[in-house]
Amino acid sequence: MEPTDTTASETANALSQAHLRREVLRSAWEDTRNPELMRLAVLAIPRLLQADRCGIFIGSRDGQQVWLEAGTGVEERQIEVPVDHSMVGDVLRTGSPAFRHRDEAVEQPTSSSSSIVDYEVRTALTVPVRRVGGADVVAAIQVLNRLDGQDFDENDVSILGDVAFAMQASLERIHDSQIMLEEAHALDEEVALLDLQESSLRSDKRLRVFPPALSDPDGSWLHHRWGGKRYPPFIDQQATQVLTGSWDTGPDDIFIATHQKVGTHLTKKFVLEAVRALFDLPELHPFHSGDIGPRTVPWPEVLLSQHGRVAWRDFLHRTAGHPRIWFLHNAVEDMPVRRVHPRSRFVVTVRDPRGTAVSQYHFWRRHPLLQVDPEISMDDFLDRFIEGDLYFGDYHEHVLGWVRRLSPEIRPEQVLVLRYEDLVENKEQSLDRLVRFLSSGRVLGEDMRDRIVASTGFESMKQEMTVNPRSFYFNPKVFFRSGKAREWAEQLTPEQVARIDEKTRRLWGGSHLECPPEALVG
């Protein structure tokens, strides 16, 4: 029996409602767990104790399990350990501090991350955290591996005990409120199941469109509109609000910031291959696959909108403590984050507006979800391009915002601006700039440079995506269309070029027709 449209619609609505309940609960949990305090503790405790790492563990309500609430290089609840036969479990049960010395074997925590399992513990100290005014132990704080190679001593116990006392009320509140987290995880599973069901009920495997979607008077250009800007209908505004209210970027986050159709996939390939060559990644890190699709290089709002917290948490866990790459299309002032870490990095790709206009024209009229008239003329499209009412806002203003870093949280040294034309025509120079930006002082061998350059060729990428698309969901035969840096000269009339150039001069200044002058710095 074939599923009906009603069944698919009901499942989609149930998915949306479960997702909403889950994010409301998540927001309440974030307020309870005080993530800023957790981050501060993870930064300060190792320095205070001259230790390599620390972890803050919470006991479960039934006393049978312990989870890592915060720790060096890991995500929330990434490690769970049994109470029996573990150092943390012993401390929770006895209420007494515990040591592991250099001549003792130390158990390795159970984790899905090989980078944590493979960590060698030589020395350790764990202290209990008691309930305020009571004897019950609700949490434990642990430090690992003194940097001087010596054992932790009684003075360290005293210092870490003072830290435990200072965090007592906060950790007790987390322990007593963990039912919210349990309910959130149950909703995670419900969202994941409904996501699977809804995807199977749809006749295609495209991204889900979130109602109520707007359109132009003729029914085309399906969109949502927030803050005066047009956004694709497959991004849920609620997901963006959740990220804006709670997501703090990290020191290992690398963002590819582009408007649409300015070389996003090409930039992804450059960055991914450079990271693979420059960094020692654990065996389970997703970058090993070479995939540049959304499972490996996610679009944050789409990842959370379409697949929920399970997929989001899975990506964070698989990349914890190592470089992770995201891509953004929004304007710099519309980043879906609460705070930008001072060591997060941004690779901004800009393209000649004439080339951007041509590429967007072909892309949007072929896009399966936007209902753009495939017969729209270039002149009619250029009216929209010059007016600037595009998805994610005006292209010229979008570029200016990123290259001028119109965000007080982003410093000049956090941004690398690349030109699409250079990524096509000057690959070696572009790769060298990227390598210096991502890993100061390191260089690639000639063989590696040649391999990366070859892998970023248009035909090479198109062939790879065709034979092994992995999580890349567009048909490369349709959407890997040209690969030429300056095809606009073949497709635009002199009058159309003049229209675009007039706007470029007005917004970017003078004779800068390919990119703003700020983009040429560095």
What pLDDT digit, counting tens, does each position of 353-362 carry? 999 999 999 9
Domain containing residue 63: CATH number:
3.30.450.40
Contact 22, 187 (CB under 8 A): yes
Q: Are residues 285 and 433 in the same domain?
A: yes
Q: Are residues 116 and 183 in the same domain?
A: no
pLDDT at 379 over 90: yes
Q: Are residues 122 and 194 in the same domain?
A: no
pTM over 0.75: yes
Work out the mean pLDDT of the chain and round it to a whole number. Answer: 87
Q: Are residues 428 and 303 in the same domain?
A: yes
Measured CA to CA, the distance from residue 147 to residue 299 in angstroms comes to 38
- At 385-398, the pLDDT tens digits run 999 999 999 999 99
pLDDT at 238 over 80: yes
The secondary structure of residue 393, as a DSSP letter, is S
What is the pLDDT, as a whole number, of residue 317? 86
Q: Are residues 124 and 49 in the same domain?
A: yes
Q: Are residues 236 and 322 in the same domain?
A: yes
pLDDT at 522 over 70: no
Which of 14-23, 99-108, 175-184 is predicted with the least confidence, judged by mean pLDDT? 99-108
Closest C-alpha to 328, from 310, 311, 340, 317: 340
Q: Are residues 290 and 155 in the same domain?
A: no
Q: Is residue 490 part of a domain?
A: no
Q: Are residues 190 and 144 in the same domain?
A: no
Domain containing residue 340: CATH number:
3.40.50.300
Q: Are residues 260 and 398 in the same domain?
A: yes
pLDDT above 90 as % of the chain: 56
Crossing angle for the helix pair 427-438 and 446-455, nearest 10 degrees? 110
Q: Is residue 501 part of a domain?
A: no
Helix/strand/coil percent split, the chain, to 5: 50, 15, 35
- At 297-322, the pLDDT tens digits run 999 999 998 888 888 988 998 898 89
What is the pLDDT, as a whole number, of residue 430? 96
More confident residue, 290 or 199: 290
Q: Are residues 12 and 40 in the same domain?
A: no
Total tally of structural domains belonging to the chain: 3
Q: Are residues 302 and 330 in the same domain?
A: yes
**Structural domain of 458:** 224-373+388-483
What is the pLDDT, as a whole number, of residue 478? 62
Contact partners, residue 423, CB within 8 Å, separation at least 6: 263, 266, 267, 270, 349, 430, 456
Q: Is residue 520 part of a domain?
A: no
Q: Is residue 499 part of a domain?
A: no
Measured CA to CA, the distance from residue 354 to residue 262 in angstroms comes to 11
pLDDT at 110 over 50: no
Q: Are residues 321 and 184 in the same domain?
A: no
Q: Is residue 518 part of a domain?
A: no
> How many residues does the structure list for the chain?
522
What is the pLDDT, as a whole number, of residue 109? 46
Q: Is residue 80 part of a domain?
A: yes
pLDDT at 113 over 50: no
Q: Is residue 219 part of a domain?
A: no
**Average pLDDT, stretch 423-427?**
95
Q: How many CB atoms lie within 10 A of CB 148?
A: 7
Tokens of 245: 């209210």
Q: Is residue 103 part of a domain?
A: yes
